[in-house]
Amino acid sequence: MTVNDGLHPERCILVTGGAGYIGSHTSLQLLLDGYKVVIMDNLINSCEEAVRRVVDLAGKQGENLLFYKVDLCNKAAVEAVFDLHQFDAVIHFAGLKAVGESCAKPLPYYINNILGTLNLLDVMNTRNCKKFVFSSSATVYGQPESVPVTEESRLYVLNPYGRTKLQVEEMMRDITAADPDWRTIVLRYFNPVGAHPSGRLGEDPQGIPNNLMPFVQQVAVGRRKELTVFGNDYDTKDGTGVRDYIHVQDLATGHSAALHKLFTTPDIGCTAYNLGTGKGTSVLEIVAAFEKAAGLKIPLRIADRRPGDCSVVFTATDKAGKELGWKAQNGIDEMCRDQWKWASNNPNGYRPVQEQPIDLKAVANGNHEAVMSKDIVV
């Protein structure tokens, strides 16, 4: 690893889950910003090809990236990486993230998302590495009572996935309050969509997608027959649900802004920021924008509302704007353009052929390989 002469010489950031959707885009952004980046990822819901492409896209800065295949549930492996690097901060993306699956199989969610995080925090604490950006989610607001959602809106969660996010937030508030050396920023993402403008990085969900955009994409590339729209009788402009979609590239710059804030604000404590555009977009508007970007028609099927879904969710953007100096730059047209470029260039995601879905039992049992690349074995 060479020392770069960019904006952040010598600063080395650990990115857990850096091979995943938001993690890969953020890792690329950090490299371009001049950071050194070390990725830890267990690759159970991501793949090393994403990391290779991050290196490519970073050009000369790609030399500043290292990747370790490590499961955070294996504390000895985490410690081994900390033995090799002095991290200035950690951005913690790693975790399982499918709401429906978390209801069916909560234990692996608690083990991966909570136990894994506690191993990481324990090692960080021991090594005196106490700057932390945590990937949370708008899901911690449950069904918001009013919009826009602000960072002070009521927190309550409706499923085990959301609970893992809220529980880590609670832990971080306590840990940061007790020890002023800790600096924590919690980022609550609204609905991440889109892909890197090159079309080389994007979301590659295994199994059935959980969110609207990957569904639209799979219909567009012919992997699914039609898009099911759940409810067209909401009290919204066109009757379909309204959400706050945010381009993954804007999330990447949001993480970079959060990192800057951490380094420059000793009294940040544990502070949460919503990351969204502040604009609500309906399902039918997304479909129309995607059809325009792709130049094709998305067949729709209208179904009943899903229990638990609410009609309109979007965020206030004031706090992130004022305190992080960050604002989303991309609108729905850019999101769909880049989503389609990724989709059409990579109809099977990062994999040349379709692989098996993840074996959650194996996840629950923690019996993943702990062997890391770069000649490190624990």
Tell me the C-alpha distance between 184 and 134, whole Å. 7
CA distances for 249 relative to 202, 216, 282, angstroms? 10, 19, 21
Q: Is 161 a catalytic residue?
A: yes
Binding site for a copy of itself (CB under 8 A): 75, 103-107, 110-111, 114-115, 118-119, 121-122, 125-126, 160, 163, 167, 170-171, 174-175, 177-178, 364-366
**In angstroms, what is the minimal distance from the CB of 74 to a copy of itself?**
10
Set 35, 161, 234, 350: catalytic member: 161
As measured in angstroms, the least distance from the Cβ of 19 to a copy of itself is 24
- CB of residue 83 vs a copy of itself: minimum separation in angstroms? 15
- Work out how close the CB of 157 gets to a copy of itself at its nearest, in angstroms, rounded to a whole number: 9
Burial class (CB in 10 A: 0-12, 13-18, 19+), 151: middle
> Using an 8 Å Cβ cutoff, are 293 and 213 in contact?
no
In the chain, DSSP assigns E strands to 12-16, 36-41, 65-69, 89-92, 131-137, 183-189, 191-193, 227-230, 242-243, 245-247, 270-275, 281-282, 300-303
Q: By C-beta, is 121 or 227 nearer to a copy of itself?
A: 121
| Between 96 and 216, CB nearer to a copy of itself | 96
CB of 141 to a copy of itself, least distance (A): 17
Radius of gyration from C-alpha coordinates of the chain: 20
Token pair listed for 234: 């909401």
3-state secondary structure of 215: helix
SS3 240: coil
* Residue whose entry in the numeric block shows the structure tokens 């793949």: 47
Please list the active-site residues. 161
